[in-house]
Every structure is written in structure tokens, then in C-alpha cells.
């Protein structure tokens, strides 16, 4: 019999308690639903006041690709960092694959991000995340992200 886990949600303070990103690189605004060890849904509301818009670009402001990917990653890590055993632990990218950008994101857009944890073993998390604006696909990527403190427990001892 499979145990049912009640979805969680996190405001900005809850996100800060579970992951180490801080201003100006803490990008997601809210986790509206997280099922620990399975999936998470986050949102990011883009306003013209974002630090990157004046430089990208003043005549036609658009969200840079690296910001979009970071929003995906921050939502993805909440699939496992929302578990009490991993709360607040440091994470590192191991790989980002198959990144696809499908639409321009501009000030005023609200990005909805869905992330799925496909595998988590020995501190190595693998999964995917996609984002959409008003139901239209915006960006997607596959991630391998590691928790160094967990991985170190599996190093061979001499």
C-alpha cells in the first residue's frame, strides 16, 4: 500500500528556510504545491523592477534564459529539499540538459513552474521542470543536482 503524502506550500520565508538561495538570486516567489520526494509547483511573477530588465534590454525587456533556467532549478530542488532530512542543505548543479526556450517572457508575465523528481539516490537528484505563461509552454530542462553533504557519506573509506 502506497502512503499518501499531503501537499505542502511555501511562501518566500518557507522557501528561504528550505534552500540556500538569497537575494538577488532567490527568484521564485512561492511554492504553491509540493509533494515531498515527488513534485513541486512554483510561481515567479516578473515585474519591470527586476534587476536584469534594464540591461536585457531597455528597448524590449525580456527575461534572460539563465534566469528562466534558475527558476526551473529552484522549483526542482524543492521536490527534495522540502523533506525534513534535507531542509536547508547546500545543492550543486551536476548537469543541465535539453534546455528548450519556447516563448519570450516579458514584464507582467507570471511563470508557473512544474518540477518532477524522477530519481533521488545517495544525494543525487534527477528530474525535469517545465514552465508556462498562461498555459503556454515557456521553457523546459532536465536536471541532475547533488547534495554534497549527503554524497560525502558514500565516499569509500581507506
pLDDT in tens, 66-91: 999 999 999 999 999 999 999 999 99
What pTM, to 2 d.p., does this model score?
0.94
Do 94 and 113 meet the contact criterion of CB atoms below 8 Å apart?
no
pLDDT at 1 over 70: no
Q: Which residues are part of the catalytic machinery?
A: 56
Residue found under cell 533521488 = 120
Percent of the chain with pLDDT over 70: 97
Do 147 and 79 meet the contact criterion of CB atoms below 8 Å apart?
no
Which three cell numbers, joined as nine digits, stand for 155? 565516499
Give Cα separations from 109 to 40, 77, 81, 121, 135 (angstroms): 20, 23, 27, 36, 11
Amino acid at each position: 500500500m502506497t502512503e499518501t503524502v499531503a501537499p505542502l506550500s511555501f511562501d518566500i520565508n518557507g522557501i528561504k528556510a528550505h534552500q540556500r538561495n538569497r537575494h538577488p538570486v532567490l527568484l521564485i516567489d512561492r511554492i504553491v504545491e509540493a509533494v515531498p520526494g515527488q513534485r513541486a509547483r512554483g510561481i515567479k511573477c516578473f515585474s519591470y523592477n527586476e534587476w536584469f530588465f534594464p540591461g536585457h534590454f531597455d528597448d524590449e525587456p525580456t527575461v534572460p534564459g539563465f534566469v528562466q533556467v534558475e527558476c526551473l532549478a529552484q522549483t526542482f530542488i524543492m521536490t527534495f529539499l522540502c523533506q525534513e532530512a534535507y531542509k536547508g542543505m547546500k545543492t550543486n548543479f551536476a548537469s543541465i540538459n535539453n534546455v528548450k526556450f519556447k516563448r519570450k517572457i516579458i514584464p507582467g508575465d507570471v511563470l508557473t513552474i512544474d518540477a518532477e523528481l524522477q530519481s533521488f539516490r545517495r544525494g543525487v537528484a534527477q528530474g525535469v521542470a517545465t514552465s508556462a505563461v498562461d498555459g503556454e509552454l515557456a521553457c523546459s530542462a532536465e536536471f541532475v543536482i547533488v547534495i554534497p553533504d549527503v554524497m560525502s557519506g558514500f565516499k569509500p573509506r581507506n
